[in-house]
Structure 1
Amino acid sequence: MRQFHHPRGIAGRMVGWFMAHRRSNRQRNIWAVTLLEVRPTDRVLEIGFGPGIAIAELAARATRGHVYGIDHSEAMVRQAGRRNAAAVRVRRVHLVHASVDRLPNFDEPLDAILAVNSAGFWPDPVERLRDLRRLLRPAGRIALVSQPRCPGATRETTARAADNLRDQLTQAGFTRIRAETLDLDPPVACVLATNPTGG
C-alpha cells in the first residue's frame, strides 16, 4: 500500500505499470475527466497524476490550453512524462515533482483542477483546498475522486468518502457542490465544485 501512495524504485515502476493498465483505473480516470468538462482553451492541473492516464485525457481535450501535473513520486513523473512525451515536447503538458502542500507557481489562474484518489492523503485537506481555490479563476471547477481501496469497501464506504469530500469543499469555500458515482467495485465517487465568482 505504501508503494501505491508513494511509488519508488523498481517496485514503484511496477505499481505505475499496474495502475496504467488496470481497466478499472483507466475507466475511473477517463470518467472523471469527462465530468470536469474540459474546454479546448482550459488551463488544467492534476494533483497526483500517477502514470499519467488522466493527463493524456486532459491534454486531448485542452488542445489550445495547457495541462499541468504535480506528483510527489519521481518515478511517476518519469512514467507519466514518457506516456505524454509528445505533449510535453511541445509544452502543452508540464509535469513537476512537487507536493500539494508546496505548490509551484502557475503564473495565471487555472480553469480546472483534478485529483483522483489523492485528497485522502493530503495534510490538512481543507487548507490545501483553500490554497487550490486561490489558484482557480472565478467559476473555475474542481473534481475530487475517491474509490476506497480499504478491505471490504462497499457502496456505503464510497458514500461516506463522498460526504467527507463534500464537507471539506464546503469548508474551503467552494459552492455548487455535487457528487456523481461510477458503478465499479467498489463504486467511485466524484465530487465536483465551483470557485464562487465573488472570490
Structure 2
Amino acid sequence: MESITRQLLTKGFGRPSGLLGRLGGRLMAHGNAATERHVVTLAAPSEQDVVLVIGPGPGVGLAAAAGRSAHVIGIDPSDVIRAMARRRCASPIARGRLHLAPGTAARTGRPDASVDIVIAVNNVQLWPDVPAALADLHRVLRPGGRILLAAHEKWLPAGLATLASTVLAAGFTSVRTWTWEPPSRMAPTAALLSAVRR
C-alpha cells in the first residue's frame, strides 16, 4: 500500500506525469499560488537579476518573477509541468523574459556563478539528495547571490532547523528561517528559508 501511495505522490507531485500529473499541476496552481507570489516579492528581483526557479509547477511563480526580471529560468524534470507552465507563461516566453528547461535542483545545467537568485517553492521535500541539490545551487549562484526556499511546514518532517543546518553545511551564510500564513484557507502554513552564497 505504501508503494502505491508513493507512486501516486510521485506521478502527481514529485515527477508529474499523465493524468495524475495534470491534476497535481492544477492543485499546485491553487495551493501554492499565494506562497509562490510571496516568495517572489521577498526575493525582489531587479530587471537585470538572473532568477532560477526550481520546480516551478504550472508557472504561477514563474509569471510573477518574469514580471520583475527579464532573465528568468524555470527548470523542472516533468514534461507535463513544463507544458502547463509554458501555456500559463506564453507572453513572457514570447518576449524572451522566461526560458523553460528540463532539470532538477541537483542538475540545473546552468553555468557556474551565473544566477543571482534561486527560488524553490514546495519541492525541497521531494529532492532525493538535498545536500547534492544545495551544492549545485551554491555552484550556480554568484557570490552574494540569494536562495529562497519554501515548503508546506507539515511536509518538512525534519523541520526548518535541520534544513537550515544542511544549507549552512553547503556553504551558505546569513541563513534565516520563519513561517508565513498564506491568505488562502486552502494553503497550509509555509516554512521559509533564505540564505546568501558567500
TM-score by length of 2: 0.86
Asked whether the 8 Å contact 2:48–2:71 carries over to 1, the reply is yes
Answering whether residue 84 of structure 2 is matched by residue 82 of structure 1, we say: no
Aligned counterpart, 1:57: 64
**1:59-113, CA deviations, whole angstroms, 9 ceiling, x for partnerless residues?**
0111xx3000111111000000110011111221011122223221347611000
**1:124-170, CA deviations, whole angstroms, 9 ceiling, x for partnerless residues?**
211221211111111100001111455xxxxxx68x52212211110
Aligned counterpart, 1:154: none
Indicate the SS of the match to 1:99: coil
Q: Distance in 2 between matches of 1:108 and 1:163?
A: 27
Asked whether the 8 Å contact 2:112–2:141 carries over to 1, the reply is no
Aligned counterpart, 1:179: 177
What 5-or-longer segments of structure 2 have no aligned partner? Answer: 1-8
Asked whether the 8 Å contact 2:113–2:139 carries over to 1, the reply is no
Which aligned pairs between 1:1-199 and structure 2 lie closer than 5 A? 1-2=9-10, 3-20=12-29, 22=30, 24-62=31-69, 65-106=70-111, 109-149=114-154, 160-184=158-182, 186-196=188-198
Q: Distance in 2 between matches of 1:173 and 1:108?
A: 14
Asked whether the 8 Å contact 1:144–1:165 carries over to 2, the reply is no
The amino acid that maps onto 1:135 is V
Moved more, 178-187 or 28-37: 178-187
Indicate the SS of the match to 2:67: helix
The amino acid that maps onto 1:163 is A
Query: Pairwise CA RMSD of aligned residues?
Result: 1.9
Q: Distance in 2 between matches of 1:161 and 1:40?
A: 34
> What is the percentage of aligned positions where both structures have the same residue?
36
**1:15-71, CA deviations, whole angstroms, 9 ceiling, x for partnerless residues?**
212221x2x421111111111121121100011111011000100111xx3000111
Asked whether the 8 Å contact 1:43–1:66 carries over to 2, the reply is yes
Q: Distance in 1 between matches of 2:106 and 2:39?
A: 23
Moved more, 83-92 or 42-51: 83-92
What 5-or-longer segments of structure 1 have no aligned partner? Answer: 151-156
Indicate the SS of the match to 1:98: coil
